[in-house]
Structure 1
Amino acid sequence: MAKRLIPSLNRILVEKIIPPSKTNSGILLPEKAPQLNSGKVVAVGPGARDRDGKTIPVSFKEGDTVLLPEYGGTQVKLGDKEFHLYRDEDILGTLHD
C-alpha cells in the first residue's frame, strides 16, 4: 500500500532535485559544478493560523520548483523515496524557466 503524507499547518513536502552526473551525450559533469539546492513541491499543508484563528494560506502549491536552504528541513522516507519537510517561511523562493 502506497502512503501519502499531507503536511500539517504551514509545512511543505519537497522532493529534492538531484542534478545529473553526466549529460545526455555521456559527458561526465564535475561534482563541484555550481548547482542550485532545489526541489519539487509534492504536497502542502492547509496553512498556519493567526491569533484570530483564521488560516494563513501556504505561499507555494504542488508542482512548484523551489529554492531550498542549504541546511534544515526534516527528512522523511516514504516507501523507497526520500522527501524533506520545510516550513513555508524556510523556502527561499520559486524557480521559473
Structure 2
Amino acid sequence: MKLVPLADRVVLKPIVAEETTKSGIVLPDKAKEKPQQAEVIAVGPGGIVDGKEVVMNVKVGDRVIYSKYAGTEVKLDNEEFIIVRQNDIVAKVED
C-alpha cells in the first residue's frame, strides 16, 4: 500500500531517537521523548487551502523538524507514519 497525501499534507516517517545517552545511559521507553525529526515520504499537491494558495516547500527525502504534538499517527504495513499539514513543519534539517 501507498499513502498519498491530499492538499497541503505531508507524510513523515519519524527518525527514531537514540536509546542511550551520550554518556552511555540506556533510556527506558517511558523516559524517551517523542521524536520531532522525520523524513518526508510523500508530499501533497498544495493548491488552494482555506481560500489561500499553498505552495509546497518540502520534497520527498527532506529531513524536517515538526511540531511536537502535530499530525495524525498512522500504522501501515508495520511501519509508523505521521501525516501533518505543511504549516506543522517548522524547519528543514540540512547537512
Give, in whole Å, the separation in 2 of the partners of 1:81 and 1:33: 19
**Structure 1 portions without partners, runs of 5+:** none
- Which residue does the alignment assign to 2:38? 39
- Length-normalised TM-score, structure 1: 0.77
Q: More strand by proportion, 1 or 2? A: 2
* Structure 2 unaligned residues grouped into runs of 5+: none
* TM-score (ref. length: structure 2): 0.78
Give SS of 2:38's match: strand
Q: Which amino acid aligns with 2:72?
A: T
Number of equivalent positions:
90
Matches of 1:46 and 1:29 in 2, distance apart?
Answer: 42
Q: Which secondary structure does the structure 1 equivalent of 2:7 belong to?
A: coil
Relative distance call for 1:29 and 1:93 in structure 2 (3 A) is: same
Alignment of 1:1-16 (within 5 A): 3-16=1-14
Q: 2:72 aligns with which of 70, 74, 80?
A: 74
Q: Percent identity?
A: 30
Change (3 A) 1:79 1:61: same
Give the aligned CA root-mean-square deviation in angstroms: 2.6
Which residue in the other structure is 2:48 paired with? 49
Deviating 4+ runs (over 3 angstroms):
27-36
Report what 2:90 is aligned to: 92
